[in-house]
Amino acid sequence: MLEPKLLRNLRVATWRLAGGGGSALRLKRIESVRVENIRVQFVYVWHNAAMDNTQHTPPGAASGPLDPAGHWGQGRRLEFIDFRLRWEGRLNRSDLMSFFSISTPKASMDIGRYLELAPRNAVYDRSSRTYVATEEFQPLFPANNPERYLAELLSRAAGTTPKELSFVGWSPDIGVMPRPSRIARPDVLLQMLEAIRGRKALRVLYQSMWTPHPEERVLAPHALAHDGMRWHVRAYCSLRKKFLDFQMGRFLEVSPSDVPGSDGSQDEAWHRLVPLVLAPHPALSPEQQHAIALDYGMVDGSTTLQCRQSMLFYTLRTLRLLKEGVEPPQDQQITLRNRADIADFLPNDAAKG
């Protein structure tokens, strides 16, 4: 028999250990005590004092202990556990230890904390010494969705995210459509970023598609934009007296200017959001329209995109909706249902359809 005094002392004992991010871990309670040949074995339940206010509601709505933006703190490690369990169906301590360079005890405590928050998400398989996702699994983090997983696969396949920085462990073979390299010069990009950050203007030599020779102009950049293929700078142009897009690869010279910069607050086309109501092409058969609705995640036969007015041309071009009726319905697949309602905001080539 374990002496009552020893048992009482064990129950009230508190240890403090160094935890992630400077937080303290202390022993919350002793779940059980067992004596085997004079050797006492304990089952511990650890408590993170810094996570007292953690709620068992999906994190992400507000910053807190489970905020994934917590760099490499426990919140980030819990997100990793959630990700691996959902998309690979299993996780063990070594996954955490190798990815975050943490000790075995800390990995065990992270898994224990995760199971406190989501007790039905995983069970321990003793034969494989692995935690296995259950059929009842529900992601603890709202961002742990198919879009996030596929985006990580794509960034790894494209080489933009190193393997050691991705939550993806095992992955299937990935095929990516090749695209021509359209990368800005580092010195140009750095000066654009500095100008945007400091609200400064730049004197540039720019080669437009519409002029035979490069032209010098003063730009006041305030944002960057990507059209799916290349990067643009959104800037006020002293030559054209309005806000325009400038392709990053067409700057031949860039230098500081004494002209005041811009914060973009007067760029109405940048700030105005235009709804694009997409629907299956009406000339398709009912079965084909149903397939398109599934493909685009449509509800009640349509889906709505909120698009900056300044990005309308690029968006409609990508969706093959600049001018409808040019391609067969099976190739175009979708239609812009509210074209007449937003005609005033559409590029000239797209207003009539």
pLDDT tens sequence across 1-16: 444 444 334 333 333 3
Give the predicted TM-score (pTM) of the model: 0.71
Higher pLDDT, 120 or 67: 120
Most confident range, picked from 13-22, 174-183, 225-234, 267-276: 267-276
Give domain 74-165's CATH number out of 1.10.10, 2.60.40, 3.40.50, 1.25.40.
Answer: 1.10.10
Residue 157 has pLDDT above 60, yes or no: yes
pLDDT tens sequence across 265-310: 999 999 999 999 999 999 999 999 999 999 999 999 999 999 999 9
Residue 248 has pLDDT above 80, yes or no: yes
Residue 90 has pLDDT above 80, yes or no: yes
CB 290 within 8 A of CB 299: no
What pLDDT is recorded for position 84? 97
The span from the CA of 232 to the CA of 247, in Å, is 4
Q: Residues with Cβ < 8 Å from 169, sequence gap 6 or more?
A: 84, 88, 95
CB 204 within 8 A of CB 215: no
Distance from the first to the final alpha carbon of the chain: 87
Query: Domain segments of the chain: what residues?
Result: 4-51, 74-165, 186-267, 272-345
What pLDDT is recorded for position 350? 53
CATH 2.30.30 fits 186-267, yes or no: yes
Q: In this structure, which amino acid lies at residue 200?
A: K
Tokens for 205, please give them: 């030599």
